[in-house]
Amino acid sequence: MDGVGPEPEEGEEREPGAVSEKNILDSFAESREVAELIGNLRGVFEELVTREMAVERFIGIMDKYQEQPHLLDRHLEGMMNSLLDIVRDSASPPPLVHLAFKFLYIITKVRGYKRFLPLFPHEVRDLQPVLDMLAKQNPRDPETWETRYMLLLWLSMICLIPFDLARFDGNLVSMEGQARQPTMDRILEIAKCYLVVSDKARDAAAVLVSKFIVRPDVRQSRMADFLDWVLSMLSKSSSQTMEGTVILNGMLQALAQLFKHGKREDCLPYAATVLECLDNCKLSESNQMVLRKLGMKLVQRLGLTFVKPKVAKWRYQRGCRSLAANLQAQGAAVQIQKREVASAEADDDEEYDIPGEIENVVEQLLVGLKDKDTIVRWSAAKGIGRITGRLPKELADDVIGSLLDCFSFQETDNAWHGGCLALAELGRRGLLLPSRISDVVPVMLKALTYDEKRGACSVGSNVRDAACYVCWAFARAYEPAELIPFINPISSALVIAAVFDRDVNCRRAASAAFQENVGRQGTFPHGIDILTAADYFAVGNRVNCYLTISVYIAGFPEYTQPMIDHLVNMKINHWDSVIRELSTKALHNITPRAPEYMANVVLPRLLPLSVGSDLHTRHGAILACAEITHALCKLAQENNSSVMYYFSEKSLEGLKQIHQELCSRQLYRGLGGELMRPAVCTLIEKLSLSKMPFRGDPIIGGWQWLINDSLRHLTLVSSAARQHIKESAVSALAALCNEFYINERGEADPALQDELVTQYVSELQNAEEMIRCGFSRALGALPRFLLKGKLQQVLEGLKTVTVISPEDVSFAESRRDALIAIAKVCQTVGVKGDGCQQEYVCRDNVDQIYATLLTGVTDYTTDSRGDVGGWVREAAMTSLMEVTLLLVQNEAELINANICKQIMCWLAQQSAEKIDKFRAHAGSVFLTLLHFDHPPVPHIPHREELERIFPRSEKETLNWNAASEAFPRITQLLGLPAYQYYVLLGLSVSVGGLTETTLRYSAQSLFDYMKKIQSDPSALESFCETLLKVFEDNLRNDRVSVPLLTMLDQMLANGCFDMFTEQENHPFPVKLFTLCKEEIKRSKDIRKLRSSIGVFCGLIQFQGDMREKVFFQLFLLLCHPFPVIRKTTASQVYEMLLTYGDVVDPAIVEQAMTILSDTNWEAELPVVRERRNCLCDLMKVPRPQLVPKSSA
């Protein structure tokens, strides 16, 4: 019913008109490759690897055709014959035969055995070889089940040969004088043997039984005995054991297949006995889904055996079903012309007694409709459809009556789902007469919105999906004239399901059903227009459905009111808060389509619900009141009417009462308060934006109390709700102040302003982080008239929040929110160079603002949550950009060159760091400032070179998140003196980091730059000076120094400083050695120590007095207290001697390397020290002396 192609996720956008091309194939393209694979089997079967590669490739090809298996049809016979040639060849060894059968099985799995069966060769000469092959099989061998499965299917085809099987027996006495088993018995033995195995061969054995037992010669002599055996096995086996389950499965499959393929007159004598035995098995009580499904299948087959196979004369026949004819007739009025139903009473000669067992069968099928598993319900629904089609009209009507009982609200969702499937099945077969449509449609409409809350989730999506299937089936089953009275409710219900259902599969099912009705019935109002807007792909995005498509459809008057009613009755009280919020926004968008109905009917209905007892309804109703009121007020303003045009006194009073009622009933407390607080804050915001005439009303004080209280108690709510409550309260505060705290002269009441600002600023020093967050954002949201005269107080308060002190080191979120608020305050008050610092951003306070923001860029705080300082850095970068662009657009001269240089350098450093998200943000801000044109940002260092490295055309396309794109660009800034230090500082963290991709691309970019400057001594000297300065400035700062040591190790190993190796006592390696030695002094950080070993080994290549000091340092580390450091040092010194052999006298190299490799450096320290001292003596390096510990 749904269209083809992959389903996009919730919220994922689709291109309009996009068509999935996932599996649209037009022919079996790999036929030649498959023929080659089959032809090569003889050459590949012996080697396990080649055999598995052949099988995997074949499976890969075949699986592509799972959804379009008919494309294989022309090639099936050729593939089968090639494989059977291998099987029939007596020279083929067993592994090759098994491989051929495996390939055959893979083909049947894709195309289905029913299509494959007739292609098997079924000549007399095949019978004996197949029987002999089956006799050689081991039924318990798990490796060769495909062989047994295919042989049984082949045998089921061969046994259809039209000759008496006794003619194949010849002389039953073999040459040894022993009696041979007749062929008939051999086949039966095989079937019985494989009906009780646990693999796929059991299914093939059931097919074999159904083909073999119905042969005339077998039926006469063996059918009764075989059924006795099956029934005795059924009665002896228990579904409580694994073995019993396997046997029951085989027996039920065999019976179901037998009663399906056998002639009615042959099976009828045994049907009652089988039904009785089946009843005794009590399969409906089994917990095995497959057994219950097979039980259903067998019950319906028995039911069909009891009644004559005739088509009911009374069934409804639609006749012509041409889509083209329907579409042509759409414009014309549908002729109300009821098709005469052929009366069943005329067929007196056809009347006959219905056996009593039918009642039992139908009863079991109706119970099966309520089963807990879908496949059992589906099987029962098909059974109901098949059997009802053979019953007289009155009995069929009774079945439909019983079926409608499934749809009471005492029944579970399973019964509703099964009932819908059965209704669709009856409709499809023409067994639901038009007289019954009036009973069925109300049930179907209820099923389309069925949603039951169960614990933390809901059930019912399968019911709604099946209800769409019923609508789809009815569209095909009935003449348009029959459904005319029900067109409006059905079309509205389908549109509502297609647009407002929570689940994507139900929305798509409803869309498909609507499309079917538009095409087949041609009577749905505005069908084609709606279909175009709400097609299969458009309804994949839930937000788009609620906020865009719904508004378009609500423009058609037939659908407006049903859509609004559905949202108010079913969706604003939904268990999922996302759906409640979307519904209220949808109501806001739909309000202009029916303003009078919203104001006079919907709003009065919502107001009592907004103070009701049910939490979800209350939440949805408050939000709906807020959204509808706002929409009505906007509409009134657009029409130049009074704001009060749509509201009665009662409605206004009701809106005011909401907060007071919730407050008096203490509904802001506890878990319910987490929903109520943001909902009422949204109400306050929308009522303020609506310019409600509440100025001076005591309710304003109540609202202000709620906002303050919500911000003050953020610590008491769950972390999930915290952000939402904070944002709602801050938005409400901004709207409330703008509307109700400003007087006619555009100023604030001084007392109120003083109280509000002072109170908020004092809360910034609260010991709770969340309270600081809330009031920082609140200050950021205050309008200009409240900040006027208080700007310095606010900025000072926010600045203190951004300062890191020992007691609030981990308060990263409050620092982030304070930095965001500073930028917001600056944007609110505006810029005036020579203005007063209490009112504007001006010369007196601009440096202080920048200083505060720039401190945020250096926040590298970490705690148990990770790099929490990253949030602060991100906010600082955004705020720097906003303030800078604000100044540039108003008074650019306030930006001095030093500050601009600092900003750009810090951004360059962040753009070279290791965390993708923050690197991308920094890169984006960097390019925004660089490429800003209205007017350009002044004093950017090296602007021309930057414009060349980062062309404007690539601003949008450069992906800063990808290390492969970002680092080759950012390392080019190393050549610009102003940026060199900062970029190198950022790169150190990336190149020496742990993330493989970041490390690889950053290191590669750095080495490329180093190669480029090898021929430029001054550039290299400058780079080395900067590198040493970075090291010196970050000595003992593990965040930088540890990765920096790793980076230095890589640079020394890559020969980045080869130019200095020829000079004796070059200052760079000497200074570097001193810094490394200082860095690891008394360190217990294993990562740092290991990185330093690599650096020391790299420094050995430089000539001069330092070489002996390096050896001394390495020999010190050879006796480090940590065994892992001793071992690492020994292995790296060994590698160093191999790499730089010329640094040691060749005569002693061999001996030194032997000591290094043969010593167990993880042994006790005295042993290790002795070996180390041997090395010292050998290399003429002074022995390190033990320093005695000073006594306390």
**Residue 207 pLDDT > 90:** yes
- From CA 325, how far away is CA 62, in angstroms rounded? 40
DSSP 340: P
* C-alpha pair distances (Å), 613 with each of 433, 660, 847: 45, 15, 55
Kindly report, residue by residue over 6-20, the tens digit of the pLDDT.
Answer: 344 444 444 333 334
Tokens for 82? 């090639």
Tokens for 1053? 């190993």
C-beta separation of 64 from 72 below 8 A = no
Q: How confident is the model at residue 296 (pLDDT cuts 50, 70, 90)?
A: very high
Kindly report, residue by residue over 128-151, the tens digit of the pLDDT.
Answer: 899 999 999 999 898 999 999 999
Q: Name the phi and psi angles at 661, rounded to 5.
A: -65, -45
Handedness of CA 379, 382, 386, 388 (dihedral sign): positive
- From CA 224, how far away is CA 235, in angstroms rounded? 16
**Residue 824 pLDDT > 70:** yes
Q: Name the phi and psi angles at 374, rounded to 5.
A: -60, -40
Handedness of CA 731, 733, 736, 742 (dihedral sign): negative
Q: How confident is the model at residue 666 (pLDDT cuts 50, 70, 90)?
A: very high
**Residue 318 pLDDT > 80:** no
Say what the alpha-carbon torsion angle 326, 327, 330, 332 is, to the nearest 10 degrees: -80
Tokens for 967? 């680092």
Tokens for 804? 């890191």
Ramachandran quadrant class, 170 (left: phi over 0; alpha: psi -120 to 50; beta: rest): left
DSSP 599: I
The one-letter amino acid at 999? L
Tokens for 265? 């007159």
Tokens for 748? 């604030």
**Residue 24 pLDDT > 80:** no
Predicted pLDDT of residue 316: 86
C-beta separation of 888 from 932 below 8 A = yes
Tokens for 857? 């860029």
Predicted pLDDT of residue 326: 57
Give the SS3 label for residue 961. Answer: coil
Average of per-residue pLDDT values in the chain:
90
**Residue 58 pLDDT > 50:** yes
Q: How confident is the model at residue 319 (pLDDT cuts 50, 70, 90)?
A: low
Least Cα distance to 694 among 657, 749, 646, 641 occurs for 657
Task: Please name the residues in contact with 1191: beta carbons below 8 A apart, sequence gap of 6 or more.
Answer: none
For 732-788, the DSSP string reads: HHHHHHHHHSB-TTS-B-HHHHHHHHHHHHHHTT-SSHHHHHHHHHHHHH--HHHHT
C-beta separation of 376 from 384 below 8 A = no
Q: How confident is the model at residue 438 (pLDDT cuts 50, 70, 90)?
A: very high
Q: How confident is the model at residue 425 (pLDDT cuts 50, 70, 90)?
A: very high
Predicted pLDDT of residue 1192: 39
Omega before residue 935 within 30° of 0, cis:
yes
Least confident of 179-193, 842-856, 1012-1026, 1088-1102: 179-193
Residues facing 831 on adjacent strands: 841
Helices (H), 932-1066: 943-949, 963-970, 977-991, 996-1013, 1017-1033, 1038-1053
Residues facing 459 on adjacent strands: 452
Kindly report, residue by residue over 534-543, the tens digit of the pLDDT.
Answer: 999 999 999 9
Tokens for 267? 């099976």
**Residue 910 pLDDT > 80:** yes
Average pLDDT over residues 195-222: 92
**Residue 678 pLDDT > 90:** yes
- From CA 24, how far away is CA 27, in angstroms rounded? 10
Any idea how long the chain is? Answer: 1192
* C-alpha pair distances (Å), 166 with each of 183, 210, 266, 913, 982: 7, 20, 21, 87, 97
Predicted pLDDT of residue 355: 87
C-beta separation of 8 from 15 below 8 A = no
Q: How confident is the model at residue 23 (pLDDT cuts 50, 70, 90)?
A: low
Of the CA atoms within 13 Å of residue 121, those in its CB half-sphere come to: 17
Measured in whole angstroms, the distance separating CA 416 from the mean position of its chain's CA atoms is 29
Tokens for 338? 């009821």
**Residue 324 pLDDT > 80:** no
**Residue 329 pLDDT > 60:** no
Least Cα distance to 680 among 713, 648, 657, 650 occurs for 657
C-beta separation of 766 from 801 below 8 A = no
Kindly report, residue by residue over 611-624, the tens digit of the pLDDT.
Answer: 999 999 999 999 99
Helices (H), 644-714: 649-664, 670-689, 698-712
For 814-864, the DSSP string reads: HHHHHHHHHHHHHHHH-B-TTS-TTTSB-HHHHHHHHHHHHHHTT----BT
Predicted pLDDT of residue 1185: 82
Q: Name the phi and psi angles at 451, rounded to 5.
A: -155, 110
**Residue 786 pLDDT > 70:** yes
C-beta separation of 814 from 860 below 8 A = no
CB-count burial class (<10 Å; 0-12, 13-18, 19+) for 942: middle
C-beta separation of 791 from 799 below 8 A = no
Residue carrying structure tokens 């040092």:
1129
Kindly report, residue by residue over 245-262, the tens digit of the pLDDT.
Answer: 999 999 999 999 999 999
Rounded to the nearest 10 degrees, what angle do helices 577-590 and 615-638 cross at?
Answer: 20
Task: Please name the residues in contact with 618: beta carbons below 8 A apart, sequence gap of 6 or more.
Answer: 609, 610, 611, 612, 667, 676, 679
